[in-house]
Amino acid sequence: MGRGIVTSLARANIPVIALEQDAKQLEFGKKAVTGLLEREAEKLIKQGLTPDTSLASVRFTLDFAELYDVDFVIEAVFENMELKKEIFRKLASVCKPDAFLCTNTSGLDIDEIASVTNHPHLVIGTHFFSPANIMRLLEVVRGHNTSLITIATAMNLGKTLGKVAVLVGNCPLFVGNRLLGPYLEQANYLLEEGCNPEDIDKALEDFGFAMGPFRMMDLAGLDVGWRSRMEKDLTGNKVPEGTPARQRQGIRYSPLADMLCEMGRFGQKTGKGWYQYEKPGGRFAHPDPWVKDFLQKYRDTHQIKPRPSNPEIILERCLYALINEGFRVLEDGIASGPEDIDVIYNNGYGWPKHRGGPMFYASTVGLEKVFDVLDRYHKENPDVPSMNPAFLLKKLAAVGGPPIKEWRTQVGKIANKL
Ligand X SMILES: NC(=O)C1=CN([C@@H]2O[C@H](COP(=O)(O)OP(=O)(O)OC[C@H]3O[C@@H](n4cnc5c(N)ncnc54)[C@H](O)[C@@H]3O)[C@@H](O)[C@H]2O)C=CC1
Ligand Y SMILES: CCCCCCCCCCCCCC(=O)CC(=O)SCCNC(=O)CCNC(=O)[C@H](O)C(C)(C)COP(=O)(O)OP(=O)(O)OC[C@H]1O[C@@H](n2cnc3c(N)ncnc32)[C@H](O)[C@@H]1OP(=O)(O)O
Q: Does 143 bind ligand Y (CB under 6 A)?
A: no
Collect all residues with Cβ–Cβ distance below 8 Å to 156 and sequence separation of at least 6: none
CB of 247 to ligand Y, least distance (A): 12
- Count of residues that bind ligand X according to CB under 6 A: 22
**Which member of 104, 146, 324, 346 binds ligand X (CB under 6 A)?**
104
x/- map, 147-186, ligand Y, by CB under 6 A: --------------------------x---x--xx--xx-
CB of 293 to ligand Y, least distance (A): 26
Q: Which is nearer to ligand X, 1 or 341 (CB)?
A: 1
**Which member of 100, 128, 174, 351 binds ligand X (CB under 6 A)?**
128
Q: Does 131 bind ligand Y (CB under 6 A)?
A: yes
**Which member of 7, 105, 254, 346 binds ligand X (CB under 6 A)?**
105
CB of 318 to ligand Y, least distance (A): 13
Q: Does 336 bind ligand Y (CB under 6 A)?
A: no
Q: Does 338 bind ligand X (CB under 6 A)?
A: no
Give CA–CA dist 345/370, Å, rounded.
18
Q: Does 220 bind ligand Y (CB under 6 A)?
A: yes
Collect all residues with Cβ–Cβ distance below 8 Å to 298 and sequence separation of at least 6: 192, 256, 259, 304
- Tell me the pairing of strands 137-142 and 123-128: antiparallel
The binder of 39, among ligand Y, ligand X, none, by C-beta within 5 to 8 A per type, is: ligand Y
Q: Does 344 bind ligand Y (CB under 6 A)?
A: no
User: Which span (9-17, 238-246, 342-350, 372-380) binds ligand Y, by CB under 6 A?
Assistant: 342-350
**Which member of 89, 283, 302, 307 binds ligand Y (CB under 6 A)?**
283
Q: Does 140 bind ligand Y (CB under 6 A)?
A: no
Q: Which is nearer to ligand X, 8 or 106 (CB)?
A: 106
The binder of 91, among ligand X, ligand Y, none, by C-beta within 5 to 8 A per type, is: none
CB of 74 to ligand Y, least distance (A): 14
**Which member of 9, 187, 220, 384 binds ligand X (CB under 6 A)?**
220
Ramachandran assignment for 162, one of left (phi > 0), alpha (psi -120 to 50 degrees), beta (any other): left
**Which member of 5, 33, 135, 261 binds ligand Y (CB under 6 A)?**
135
- The torsion of the CA quartet 134, 175, 361, 416, rounded to 10 degrees, works out to -130
User: Which residues 68-97 are close enough to bind ligand X by CB under 6 A?
Assistant: 76-79, 83, 87
Q: Does 348 bind ligand X (CB under 6 A)?
A: no
Q: Which residues pair with 124 in a beta bridge?
A: 102
CB of 21 to ligand Y, least distance (A): 20
The binder of 211, among ligand X, ligand Y, none, by C-beta within 5 to 8 A per type, is: ligand Y
Q: Does 53 bind ligand Y (CB under 6 A)?
A: no
Cβ burial 27-65 (10 Å sphere, 16+ → b, else e): eebbebbeebbeebbeeeeeeeeeeebeeebbebeeeee
Q: Does 210 bind ligand Y (CB under 6 A)?
A: yes
Interface contacts to ligand X, rule CB under 6 A: 1-2, 19-21, 25, 76-79, 83, 87, 104-106, 127-130, 220-221, 224
Chain contacts with ligand Y (rule: CB under 6 A): 39-40, 106, 129-131, 134-135, 173, 177, 180-181, 184-185, 210-211, 216, 219-220, 224-225, 228-229, 268, 283, 348-350
